[in-house]
Chain A
Amino acid sequence: DSGVTQTPKHLITATGQRVTLRCSPRSGDLSVYWYQQSLDQGLQFLIQYYNGEERAKGNILERFSAQQFPDLHSELNLSSLELGDSALYFCASSVSQAQETQYFGPGTRLLVL
């Protein structure tokens, strides 16, 4: 158990809908990262937050947004969902913003029908 929690574990929704994925980092970790893993695209870095501020942005679509709250949990919002958004979404956390060792959550499996 990495200490990083993600909810929900599974999510099934329809095209055009909006969903929110939640991540709670390890106690004491200030950075949260979001990743997408799919058969088509492989593993992709989406975005990083550090202590509430956006730190780095990767291949995150404009339909997707994220934020980190004062209690350091983070949410990834996916809107106008398309079939191709079906994937595993992982979050990870680390102590600082230096991108050292990251601890990964169990992931949320999203299926868009």
Chain B
Amino acid sequence: ELKVEQNPLFLSMQEGKNYTIYCNYSTTSDRLYWYRQDPGKSLESLFVLLSNGAVKQEGRLMASLDTKARLSTLHITAAVHDLSATYFCAVTVTGTYKYIFGTGTRLKVLA
């Protein structure tokens, strides 16, 4: 069964600290996506990673992809309260256009 696992599921961190969210998937994939969801809101696309070794950065967030390890990371640098949200990763299965989502990581940044 295809699985996309994120860890941790919950993360409480202090402002100014660094941390990494991990996304593991169990099958070959064409693309990996990261999304943000604020409470009661819709989803916002953060990154699309297309190839092995891809790295993308936006502000305090940096995402990377290792297709051989079937692992993506979302690194948070010097966290601020505004980053508090739930973060989802998703993959498309090679040869299909089906998306599989991870369980989400609920991030809370404490002042």
Contact = CB atoms under 8 A, between A and B. Distances in A.
B98 A42 contact: no
Contact of A45 (B41, B101, B103, B104): B101
Interface string B66-104: 000000000000000000000010101000111111011
B104 A42 contact: yes
A42 B102 CA distance: 8
A68 B95 CA distance: 23
A56 B42 contact: no
Interface size class of A (residues with CB under 8 A): 20 to 34
B43 interface: yes
What is the predominant secondary structure among interface residues of chain B facing chain A? strand
Interface in A81-96: 90, 92
A35 B42 CA distance: 11
A101 B48 contact: yes
Most buried by B among A55, A104, A107: A104
B45 interface: yes
Given A90-B42, A104-B44, A106-B42, A99 B92 contact: yes
Given A42-B101, A42-B103, A100-B48, A92 B43 contact: yes
A92 B33 CA distance: 14
Contacts of B96: 56
12 contacts: A2-B42, A33-B99, A43-B88, A43-B90, A45-B101, A48-B97, A56-B98, A58-B98, A58-B99, A90-B42, A99-B99, A104-B42
Interface of A: 2, 33, 35, 42-45, 48, 55-58, 90, 92, 97, 99-107
